[in-house]
Structure 1
Amino acid sequence: MRNIIRAQMQLGECDISAIAFDCFSRDDILRLLRGLRHIYTTEPLREAVFAILADVLPVRADGEAFVSADTGRPGMSQWRILVLGTLRQGLNADYDRVQEFANQHRLVRQMLGHSDWSDEDRYSLQTLKDNLRLFTPEVLERINQCRCRQGGTRPCQTPS
């Protein structure tokens, strides 16, 4: 069973639309995170992107069909696959670097839906490999085309 994103925020989590970015930073990570926040906060765009991600399912162990999105144990949410997959593809990063971002980078962890002070969840290297191998450059290109049809990203704005 693969969720899109948790509907209910946990204690200590920050709403993705309220994450504060340094608007003067030219770092490539922040540019990617701002684009992801735009996807998250623009409902028609978010729905279109998650429809694309619904097609991203692993193949069953027998190799004959895709796993069911509705049954089984919970996998990594589509939002987390989108965030980490975008960082991996956008930065041309290896899995070790993505693991470091997912476990140590404060803004990335906020974007993944983790709280700042009480969340001890960590991503293993194998979990990242198993989930992010599904997020191919072709999937990213489909998302990029969808984003372009929806009207691009807006400039950096600090939440009020």
Structure 2
Amino acid sequence: MSYDKGFWSPGNLEKLEVLLEHSVLPKKGRLSANDKKRECHPEFIRARRKHSAVESDINALEANGLDKCPDKGIEGFERYVALAVVASNLKRLGKILLTRDRQ
């Protein structure tokens, strides 16, 4: 799991370390020796580099209607995310078909 720097707090870090084997929770500001050691670990760096792809996917979902979720509860949210993914995929397929037809 990968998080933004804004999510960092000592409490969040403790909870994630209990739940996850490798959590990517970068710290804002100056790093202590322990934080520097944690953030220089190869697994941390590898996962952190993948974070930009996650941000890109979130942006694509927001562009396809997932900027605000009017549904209530976790089930409604999951349904809304699934529909946004379907909308994004349909948009992508449409672009591929249009390109193919133009050629």
Please give the TM-score of this superposition, normalised by the length of structure 2: 0.32
Please give the TM-score of this superposition, normalised by the length of structure 1: 0.24
Greater helix percent: which structure?
A: 2
Q: Greater CA radius of gyration, 1 or 2?
A: 2
Using CA pairs under 8 Å that are at least 6 residues apart, name the structure with larger relative contact order, 1 or 2: 1
